[in-house]
Amino acid sequence: MITEQEFLEEARTFLDANAERRTAAKQEWGEGSDEVGIFAEHTPEEDQAHVTAAKEWRQKTYDAGFGWITGPTKWGGRELPGSFEKAYRSLESSYTTPSQAPFGIGLGMIAPTIQSHAFEETKDRYLPAMYRGDTVACQLFSEPGAGSDLAGLQTKAVLDGEEWIVTGQKVWTSGAQYSDIGEIICRTDPDLPKHKGLTGFIVDMKAPGVEVRPLRQMTGGASFNEVFFNEVRIPDDHRLGDVNQGWTVALTTLMNERAAIGGAGMGIEGGGRSGVLMYELLRRLDKASDPLVRQKAAQLYAHTQVARYTTQRAMAKLAAGQLPGPELSIAKLALTNNLMKVADLVGSALGPRMMADTGEWGTYAWSGLLLGIPGLRVAGGTDEVMKNIIGERVLGLPKDPKPTK
């Protein structure tokens, strides 16, 4: 097998030939973008440009052997250890390359589910295409009437010969506007208990009957969508797992979703951009010597580091082929709590300038973070759901009593 050193030399040759080395220039206060929002605020044209650039770069890396370093060779992977993947990501970060954000959901959540639960021919069709960047995927779980109660969803799938006919609505779907496929969970037996009558599928987002509508957020952007399905036909070979066993399929995706969200950090930990701008803002406003501000900043730093270590524990389990425990729920809850601490700290320093645009660089931009936090508190399971998981699985507390009729 190739050594890690030989692998890195190969990777460096590829990157030198296809990308520019990232300069170590430090952003000066007042220069460039001061954006610190949680969700991207792109126009449809900007979305398409970002997706095109992301696809072009992913296709290059895949064709060169760096698109799925740990993946099976039959789907274009190299079956190398996770340490090789980590080493490549570290090396690639020193080069200027297009953002791979459009693939975050597909490769982080949907591809592992396909690999675990799909028919072999479906794996053969989609896994290479997803890792090469030819196919973008989204997640179709939440519904207007179900909220965080995924098992309460009502989008139905009815078997018609060798196809399933899907009718219903999904909501809060990130990336639906540019996705090629989606993972959808449907109710296939309304007579079974709600956790038992669900089935997962891969649906063509360009199929007749699929309608995507953007949802405007209070930040002004439209990072999420609602998706309508009007008698959309899905071949049975696009089913994930057995009929009425979709809850297991959904849990596979949700576990990976919480890993992706909880491990994101959003730039507030260590030397992340948002963290750097926050501490520089406090200095610019002569707040850095205020003992109360310093106490809040120290507490935030401690909390972000603990969250980082908790996430590393979960990632180590995944890398070892184990199912992580409740660490991912803890990490996801910690992220939103830490972001609220950031908003509180910045808000106490800025005052009205956080919500009233004075034109001063590095001030009003923080409103994007403040207004984006509620969306993140819903994504991947609400804070309330995470607290229930932690209470029951970590602390051993009894479940909340069900309401009496």
Q: What is the pLDDT of residues 47-89, one digit of tens each?
A: 899 999 999 999 999 999 999 999 999 999 999 998 899 899 9
Strand, helix or coil at 387? helix
Are residue 84 and residue 170 in the same domain, yes or no? no
Distance spanning both ends of the chain, measured CA to CA = 64
In a domain? residue 405:
no
In a domain? residue 251:
no
Looking at the structure of the chain, the number of domains it has is 3
Are residue 152 and residue 196 in the same domain, yes or no? yes
Domain of residue 376, CATH code: 1.20.140.10
Model confidence at 135: pLDDT above 70:
yes
Are residue 385 and residue 267 in the same domain, yes or no? yes
Q: Please tell me the least confidently modeled range out of 127-131, 137-141, 312-316, 391-395.
A: 312-316
- Listed residues 177, 212, 243: the one ending a domain: 243
Model confidence at 249: pLDDT above 60:
yes
In a domain? residue 24:
no
pLDDT for residue 405: 57
Q: Which of 226, 257, 269, 327 is catalytic?
A: 257
- One-letter amino acid for residue 201 of the chain: F
Are residue 110 and residue 174 in the same domain, yes or no? no
Model pLDDT for residues 328-348, shown as the tens digit of each residue: 778 888 888 899 999 999 998
Domain boundaries, position 88: 33-132
Q: Is 257 considered catalytic here?
A: yes
Model confidence at 126: pLDDT above 90:
yes
Domain of residue 54, CATH code: 1.10.540
Are residue 227 and residue 295 in the same domain, yes or no? no
In a domain? residue 254:
no
In a domain? residue 74:
yes
Residue 212 CB contacts under 8 Å (≥ 6 apart), including other chains? 173, 176, 177, 205, 225, 226, 227
Domain of residue 219, CATH code: 2.40.110.10
Model confidence at 265: pLDDT above 60:
no
Model confidence at 322: pLDDT above 80:
no
Model pLDDT for residues 88-107, shown as the tens digit of each residue: 999 999 999 999 999 999 99
pLDDT for residue 403: 65
Are residue 269 and residue 355 in the same domain, yes or no? yes
In a domain? residue 331:
yes
In a domain? residue 7:
no
- Listed residues 93, 114, 132: the one ending a domain: 132
Dihedral sign for Cα atoms in the order 117, 131, 68, 323: negative
Are residue 89 and residue 194 in the same domain, yes or no? no
Model pLDDT for residues 172-217, shown as the tens digit of each residue: 899 999 999 999 999 999 999 888 999 999 999 999 999 999 988 7
- Listed residues 110, 132, 154: the one ending a domain: 132
pLDDT for residue 24: 63
Are residue 42 and residue 156 in the same domain, yes or no? no
* Average pLDDT for 26-38: 80
In a domain? residue 308:
yes
Model confidence at 133: pLDDT above 90:
yes
Are residue 339 and residue 317 in the same domain, yes or no? yes
Can you list the alpha helix ranges (DSSP code H) found in 285-398? 291-319, 327-350, 366-378, 383-389
